[in-house]
């Protein structure tokens, strides 16, 4: 960390977690899918680590988000409460919902379940939106001048294009028009 990064007054005036509008989070997650979810977890852990000094490796916690999502959801919950921002979710409930929704993607491979069930996994963004709404209210309370990250940027465009191609491929596969096997 640089001198500016370690200055407590500078750290306290920064967003506590990754700022992104719920609309952008939904668009990027639905189109770019898992890579954007990993990015979302990574950025939240990275900002949390910079601010608190917690010994957490953001990349590992993002890659293994199934094991660390509750810790992140709970950290957001605690920080919001401490800042007087009432969280509107239960960390355990959202963790369970997020994990169950993610499980639907692999369920057809594990059991005799129709392939269409995997499309339920698109709903995995819903628990993240709940956490993000709390993050955004928290960030507005502690860092009112922060950039809200509410528009698609140049870096988002390649992810959107690639994500659209993957989604088209998935849809054609679901219809049986192409096959990966």
| DSSP track, 27-47 | HHHHHH-HHHHHHHHHHHHHH
Residue 3's pLDDT band, with cuts at 50, 70 and 90, is very low
Q: Do the domain assignments include residue 164?
A: no
What is the pTM assigned to this prediction? 0.84
| pLDDT over threshold 80, residue 178 | no
- Would residue 127 count as lying in a domain? yes
Note whether 14 and 51 are within 8 A (CB). Answer: yes
How many separate domains does the chain show?
A: 1
Q: Whole domain around residue 115: which residue ranges?
A: 3-153
pLDDT of residue 107 exceeding 60, the answer is: yes
Q: For residue 166, is it within any domain?
A: no
Residue 161's pLDDT is 85
Residue range 36-77, pLDDT digits in tens: 899 999 999 999 999 988 888 999 999 999 999 999 999 999
Task: Give me the chain's average pLDDT, please.
Answer: 87
Residue 4: is its pLDDT beyond 60? Answer: no
Tokens of 35: 């890579």
Identify the weakest region by mean pLDDT among 58-62, 152-156, 177-181: 177-181
Residue 103 lies in a domain: yes
In the prediction, which pLDDT does 180 show? Answer: 62
Higher pLDDT among residues 125 and 166, named by residue: 125
Residue 56 within any structural domain of the chain: yes
Phi-psi region of 62 (alpha: psi -120 to 50; beta: other; left: phi over 0): alpha
Give every CB contact of residue 92 below 8 A, 6+ residues apart in sequence: 70
> Mean per-residue pLDDT for 110-125?
82
Instruction: Indicate whether 167 belongs to any domain.
Output: no
Residue 162: inside a domain:
no
Residue 87: pLDDT band by 50, 70, 90 thresholds?
very high
User: The tokens of 61 are what?
Assistant: 């916690």
Higher pLDDT, 26 or 113: 26
* Residue 111 belongs to some domain of the structure: yes
Tokens coding 42: 């990574």
């Amino acid at each position: 960390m640089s001198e500016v990064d370690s200055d407590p007054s500078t750290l306290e005036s920064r967003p506590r977690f990754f700022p992104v509008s719920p609309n952008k989070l939904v668009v990027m997650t639905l189109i770019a899918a898992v890579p954007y979810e990993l990015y979302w977890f990574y950025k939240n852990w990275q900002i949390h680590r910079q601010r608190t000094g917690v010994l957490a490796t953001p990349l590992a916690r993002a890659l293994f988000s199934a094991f660390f999502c509750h810790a992140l959801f709970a950290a957001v919950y605690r920080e919001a409460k401490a800042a007087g921002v009432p969280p509107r979710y239960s960390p355990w409930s959202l963790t369970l919902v997020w994990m169950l929704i993610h499980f639907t993607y692999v369920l057809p491979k594990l059991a005799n379940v129709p392939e269409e069930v995997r499309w339920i996994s698109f709903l995995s963004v819903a628990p993240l939106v709940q956490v993000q709404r709390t993050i955004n209210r928290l960030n507005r309370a502690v860092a009112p001048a922060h950039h809200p990250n509410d528009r698609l940027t140049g870096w988002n465009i390649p992810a959107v294009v690639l994500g659209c191609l993957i989604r088209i491929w998935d849809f054609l596969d679901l219809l049986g028009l192409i096959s990966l096997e």
